[in-house]
A and B are shown apart, each in its own frame.
Chain A
């Protein structure tokens, strides 16, 4: 049973480009969370999704950021028109239910030049 898979592991974008980060949850997990970790800072909640639904996106900037978790395929975190301040490690985690143990992916390190 593969763990939570995130790709790419590293992503380099120039200012103004789009970044698409993918997260495949563990088999049987329908709950996905995205977190951001800025350099020298702690983890910050961004968005919580269940299959096809956004449950809570209160931690995600209203502009340029969006997330989805389609019926088929991975969850996608999309950042449009990236800026240098978006450079961070983005982690996703999955769980089988709302209040259950989390399993984390290895993260995507986004660098904006």
Chain B
């Protein structure tokens, strides 16, 4: 069993739709990261969360520490949002990151 589970694995949306990607984890964490990987392979860190909610432009990330769950929301989705979104947790014991397998998002014009 993976320490980090993401859903859905694949997601296709029409431009303008509201999108939610979910991440559940089974270990105690110090922080959770949402990453974006574009088809060219480059990885960008979108958010780092340890509690509550963060917003950046059309992106919103929330985390519920008690339920060990985080969500990434994209409002008014656009084709340029098409990418793989990866949830990663930094464990509070030890120094490892654990990664979800990613959610592949395709936004159709």
Give Cα A59–Cα B88 distance, bound, in whole angstroms: 15
Task: Return the contact of A45 from the options B41, B42, B98, B100 (Cβ within 8 A).
Answer: B98
Query: What is the minimal beta-carbon distance from B45 to any residue of chain A, in angstroms?
Result: 5
In the complex, chain A residues 34-64 whose Cβ is within 8 Å of any chain B Cβ: 35, 41-45, 48, 55-56, 58-59
B96 at the interface (CB under 8 A from A): yes
Give Cα A56–Cα B91 distance, bound, in whole angstroms: 12
Query: What is the minimal beta-carbon distance from B91 to any residue of chain A, in angstroms?
Result: 10
Query: What is the minimal beta-carbon distance from B42 to any residue of chain A, in angstroms?
Result: 5
B27-56: CB near A (< 8 Å → 1, else 0) gives 000110101000001111100101000000
User: A35 contacts which chain B residues (CB < 8 A)?
Assistant: 97, 99
Q: Contact: B33 with A102, CB < 8 Å?
A: yes
Q: Contact: B45 with A106, CB < 8 Å?
A: no
Give Cα A99–Cα B35 distance, bound, in whole angstroms: 15
User: A93 contacts which chain B residues (CB < 8 A)?
Assistant: 43, 45
In the complex formed, the residue of B with least CB distance to A49 is B95
Whether A58 contacts B96 in the complex (CB less than 8 A), given A42-B101, A42-B102, comes out as yes
User: A44 contacts which chain B residues (CB < 8 A)?
Assistant: 99
Q: Contact: B48 with A101, CB < 8 Å?
A: yes
Whether A48 contacts B96 in the complex (CB less than 8 A), given A42-B102, A43-B88, A101-B48, comes out as yes
B86 at the interface (CB under 8 A from A): yes
Give Cα A35–Cα B45 distance, bound, in whole angstroms: 14
B80-109: CB near A (< 8 Å → 1, else 0) gives 000000101010001111111110000000
Q: Contact: A99 with B101, CB < 8 Å?
A: no
A-B contact sample (6 more), CB < 8 A, given A99-B31, A103-B45: A35-B97, A43-B99, A45-B98, A45-B99, A58-B96, A107-B43
6 contacts between A and B (CB under 8 A): A35-B97, A42-B99, A44-B99, A48-B96, A102-B35, A109-B41
